[in-house]
Amino acid sequence: MSGGPVALAKLNTETLEGFLSACGSLFERSPWVAARTWRRRPFASLEALHGELVSTMENASAEEKVSLIRSHPDLVGRIAEAAGLSEISAREQAAAGLDSLSAEEVTLFRAYNREYRDTFGFPFVICARENRKEAILRAFPERLGHTREQEIVAALAEIAKIAWLRLRDAVTEA
């Protein structure tokens, strides 16, 4: 199902393979979320589909949740610099202005990424499409004050936002 967005009505009749083609990349490098959700078709709306996807994520084991968070790249990290981001992650980071940082900003992002990863054991996740670089830089110190449990919840909430925006790009109501 490559090309453009797929209609929800068609998605509701797809095989697992077709469903994964449309929805497998909604959760960064974690097609298992869509695979587990496929069985709950049909979905009445994009909101209902998103709700089921998020429910799958929330009902995953603690290890799976942390693995999902770890599947996200650092913002302005080495993967981004080496052009190793997924195409969709690269577009999302660019939308936040993370592809045009000053040398000082790059240094600041690297320092925050390192401190955050050292503190929590996973990368900082924020919905880049809903934020600009300035807001992201302000969010780092605030979230560094959280407990690991609070940050798991915060990261999963951000992942849900990312998945919603990706879903709206991949699937139409019509």
Residue-wise pLDDT for 19-69, tens only, equals 999 999 999 999 999 999 999 999 999 999 999 999 999 999 999 999 999
Which band of pLDDT confidence, cut at 50, 70 and 90, is reported for residue 134? Answer: very high
Residue-wise pLDDT for 8-19, tens only, equals 999 999 999 999
From 72, 133, 143, 166, active-site residue: 72
pLDDT at 81: 55
Same-domain status, 55 and 96: no
Which band of pLDDT confidence, cut at 50, 70 and 90, is reported for residue 78? Answer: low
**Which range of residues forms the domain containing residue 158?**
68-164
Counting the structural domains of the chain, the total is 2
Full 3-state SS string of the chain: CCCCCEEHHHHCCCCHHHHHHHHCCCCCCCCHHHHHHHCCCCCCCHHHHHHHHHHHHHCCCHHHHHHHHHCCCCCCCHHHHCCCCCHHHHHHHHHCCCCCCCHHHHHHHHHHHHHHHHHHCCCCCCCHHHCCHHHHHHHHHHHHCCCHHHHHHHHHHHHHHHHHHHHHHHEECC
72 is catalytic: yes
Same-domain status, 97 and 146: yes
Same-domain status, 54 and 77: no
Same-domain status, 72 and 154: yes
For the whole model, what pTM was predicted?
0.93
Same-domain status, 80 and 156: yes
